[in-house]
């Protein structure tokens, strides 16, 4: 794990945070659907949001708040209705959500950030929200992270949570995170939500830069189905309650904190890809030999997102031609004679030429990954070398099964 260790607690592991999750009646299923994360003090806030031109009201709301003042006390997330493409009334509903919570917490509405997930075109059920907010605030707890993580999911099969700890200035510093996402997942903040808390003291511009770089290497490098959501949001708070020296520029301490932030984001991103709708395994693609990290990630994301590659892996077919084809259309120039491809430990293609390999054994490798679903050995690893460059990059995805179509064919019916 490097210079940090895994701990329990999720978003309430860092000092000075409470969280809660309840069933407010937003979901017809009766499952938990309203979550809250609160910092005891004002926290530096940063965010990365969907690049879609069709955006949820909460996304525009958060962007406007963070442009004026990069700080916040609370994150409120409703699950069940996306409140996207809901017009002027959707914007009013978002603002009322913040106002209601602000009155209950005794803080300014501008100190609250919002997130929503669910069916596009559906407004938040405001009557349920109005009744739920007082109950939500009443159960805020330093052990409420798991309840919050359960309240933000939709088609997810599992909750997604992590917390890490390191030492800065001889004092412990912690970062925790929760996330949701299973379908409508594709690079460019691809519906996914992630909330990160930290107790370090970091300057606002540096915290935003750290989060953006971490997102590019993690959440922006996953894909399930090629669809970017209207609601994608990654929001990170850091409140300084660790009482460590303030980090105002990159250096040894800044690098350590960003490394831990990236580790948290990568864990959550992989958990989303692993839990892709209908998926039976996680796919990890690593590209080496590129001239830039961006180019390497672009090829890796193209391979991980290829429907043909994903279908072949679901069929346990080690069809390296589909991998080669995806690499070639990624928009990154390289010499075909430099291309090599490995599937796990199986070398399939080397220096532009097919290689004899045990197809049955390679197929078994793919089957074993599916049998290890939701465990740490459920990963199909694809390695691609495109030349003699010094840069590399990774992307994560999942296989494409029959169940993906079943889940999404009747999503609103």
Active-site residue list: 191
Between CA 60 and CA 341 the distance in angstroms is 42
Point out which residues pair with 163 in neighbouring strands. Answer: 7, 176
- CA pair distance 3, 260, nearest whole angstrom: 8
Cα 341 to chain centroid, rounded? 27
Q: Which residue matches tokens 């589909």?
A: 322
42: how many CB neighbours lie within 10 A of its CB?
A: 15
As given in the structure block, the two tokens for residue 61 are 């709301």
Q: Closest Cα partner for 45 from 300, 234, 185, 230?
A: 234
On whether the CB atoms of residues 318 and 283 are closer than 8 A, the answer is: no
Instruction: Match 């903040």 to its residue by tokens.
Output: 189
Q: Side-chain half-sphere of 342: how many Cα atoms within 13 Å?
A: 12
Q: What does the buried/exposed string (b/e) look like for 278-294 if buried means 16 or more CB atoms within 10 Å of the residue's CB? A: bbbbbbbbbbbbbbebe
Q: How many helices (H) and strands (E) does the chain have?
A: 11, 15
- Torsion of the alpha carbons at 399, 232, 91 and 84, rounded to the nearest 10: -10
Name beta bridge partners: 234.
48, 194
**21 DSSP β-pair partners:** 35
402 close to 310: Cβ distance less than 8 angstroms: no
Residue 393 near residue 287 (C-beta atoms within 8 A): yes
Per residue in 116-129, is it b (16+ CB within 10 Å) or e — as a string? Answer: bbbebebbbbbebb
CB 395, CB 304: distance < 8 Å:
yes
CA distances from 39 to 130, 180, 240 (A): 22, 21, 10
Q: Output phi, psi for 88, to 5 deg.
A: -65, -35
């Amino acid at each position: 794990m490097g210079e940090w260790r895994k701990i329990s607690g999720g978003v309430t592991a860092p000092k000075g945070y409470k969280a809660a999750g309840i069933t407010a009646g937003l979901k017809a299923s009766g499952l938990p659907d309203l979550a809250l994360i609160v910092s005891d003090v004002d926290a530096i806030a940063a965010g990365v949001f969907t690049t879609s031109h069709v955006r949820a009201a909460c996304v525009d709301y958060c962007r406007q708040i963070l442009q004026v003042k990069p700080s916040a006390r609370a994150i409120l997330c409703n699950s069940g209705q996306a409140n996207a493409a809901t017009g002027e009334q959707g914007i009013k509903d978002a603002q009322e959500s913040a106002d209601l919570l602000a009155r209950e917490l005794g803080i300014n509405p501008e100190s609250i950030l919002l997130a929503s997930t669910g069916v596009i075109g559906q407004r938040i059920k405001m009557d349920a929200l109005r009744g739920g907010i007082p109950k939500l605030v009443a159960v805020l707890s330093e052990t409420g992270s798991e309840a919050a993580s359960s309240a933000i999911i939709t088609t997810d099969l599992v909750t997604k949570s992590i917390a890490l700890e390191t030492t800065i200035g001889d004092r412990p510093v912690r970062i925790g995170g929760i996330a949701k996402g299973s379908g409508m997942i594709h690079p460019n903040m691809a519906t996914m939500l992630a909330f990160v808390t930290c107790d370090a003291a970091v300057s606002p511009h540096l915290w935003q830069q750290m989060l953006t770089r971490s997102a590019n290497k993690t959440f922006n490098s996953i894909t399930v189905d090629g669809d970017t959501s209207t609601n994608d949001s990654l929001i990170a708070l850091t409140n300084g309650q660790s009482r460590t020296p303030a980090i105002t520029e990159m250096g040894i301490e800044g690098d350590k904190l960003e490394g831990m932030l990236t580790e948290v984001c990568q864990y959550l991103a992989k958990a989303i890809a692993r839990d892709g709708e209908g998926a039976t395994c996680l796919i990890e693609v690593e590209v080496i030999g590129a001239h830039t990290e961006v180019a390497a990630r672009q090829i890796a994301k193209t391979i991980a997102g290829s429907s043909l590659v994903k279908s072949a892996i679901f069929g346990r077919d080690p069809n390296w031609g589909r991998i080669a084809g995806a690499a070639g259309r990624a928009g990154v120039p390289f010499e075909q004679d430099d291309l090599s491809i490995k599937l796990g430990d199986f070398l399939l293609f080397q220096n532009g030429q097919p290689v004899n390999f045990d197809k049955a054994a390679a197929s078994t490798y793919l089957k074993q990954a599916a049998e290890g679903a939701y465990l740490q050995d459920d990963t199909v690893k694809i390695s691609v070398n495109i030349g003699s460059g010094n840069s590399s990059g990774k992307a994560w995805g999942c296989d494409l099964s029959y169940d993906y179509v079943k889940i999404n064919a009747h999503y609103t019916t």
